[in-house]
Structure 1
Amino acid sequence: PEGDCYGRHSQPNWGSLDPTIDDDPQHLGDDVDGAGPEAIIAYELEAGDYRVGVHVWDDHAYGPSVPTIRIVVFGEVVRELVGEPLYDADLWEVGTITWPEGTVSAYDGPVIHEYPLPWAEPTR
Structure 2
Amino acid sequence: MAIKKSDRQKIYEKYNGHCAYCGKEIALKDMQVDHIEPLRNWDRAKTQEELNNIKNFNPSCRMCNHYKRADNLEAFRESMSTLHKRISKLYIVRVGIDHGIINIKPFDGKFYFEKIVTNR
Fold match (TM-score > 0.5): no
- TM-score normalised by structure 1 residue count: 0.23
Structure index of larger Rg: 2
Greater RCO between the two (CA within 8 Å, min separation 6)?
2
More helix by share: 2
Structure with bigger strand share is 1
